[in-house]
Amino acid sequence: MVKFHDIDLKIENDIQVKKDDALIVVDMQYDFLSGGSLAVEGGNLIIDGINDLIDIFGDGIVVLSQDWHPQDHLSFASNHSGKNPGDEFSSKDGAIGPILWPDHCIQNTHGARFHENLNTKLIKKVIQKGTNPKIDSYSAFLENDKKTETGLKDYLNSNNIKKIYISGLALDYCCYNTAMDGLDFGYKTYFIIDLTRGVDLPPGNIVNSLKNMINKGINFAIKNSFNFK
């Protein structure tokens, strides 16, 4: 057990990475890291640990997701008159919301790049998401319309992946939605709790996300759950 935001999480131990396992690293991009427009507190502190896990996976399946928005993306408060980042906003179809964000991860800008310290040398697959200006995409599997697939499921299935491990940013948005969809798609899903950080917007969102994941049957691990031998 570990205590995280006052919630007891049952932690898996002694995980051996196998051929049908995949590591999903969510949105480790400059805009979500220190100095970025949507910096997640403590985000930089998880880079080294994620690199350690990438090492364990070696030439196995590691997927990076990348938030990749056009400038006119409707998740940006700047594209709604009179709105500020953090304001509540939901489009009727649920494709945008529940809140608006500052401009972030605009295609081909510095903020959209992966952090230079993230070890991307062996990465075979990057899944870009949020490219449609009218649809946000928190999950690395499905855009927020819950219909449009990003290609992650097909990629994992073509590699016979059965189990996924989620790390990255932010805990209560993109990691959370990736984990929930991953379980729905039939993967045994692990959330690596010390290799993620949350935004907690609105306040309480991290705890709610954790409770929902526990209730749904998502498993939890920490970096040291993995067998580094």
Interface with Zn ion (CB under 5 A):
67, 130
Q: Which residues contact 132 (CB under 8 A, 6 or more apart)?
A: 143, 148
CB 2, CB 83: distance < 8 Å: no
CB 165, CB 50: distance < 8 Å: no
Q: Which is nearer to Zn ion, 21 or 143 (CB)?
A: 143
Q: Which is nearer to Zn ion, 130 or 182 (CB)?
A: 130
**What totals of helices (H) and strands (E) does the chain contain, helices first?**
4, 8
Kind and range of the H or E run holding 49: helix 47-57
Smallest separation, CB 117 to Zn ion (Å): 21
Smallest separation, CB 13 to Zn ion (Å): 34
Q: Which is nearer to Zn ion, 22 or 99 (CB)?
A: 99
Smallest separation, CB 104 to Zn ion (Å): 6
Q: Which is nearer to Zn ion, 111 or 182 (CB)?
A: 111
Smallest separation, CB 90 to Zn ion (Å): 15
Q: Which of 198, 184, 132 is nearest to 153 (CA)?
A: 184
> Catalytic site residues?
27, 129, 174
Strand, helix or coil at 207? Answer: helix
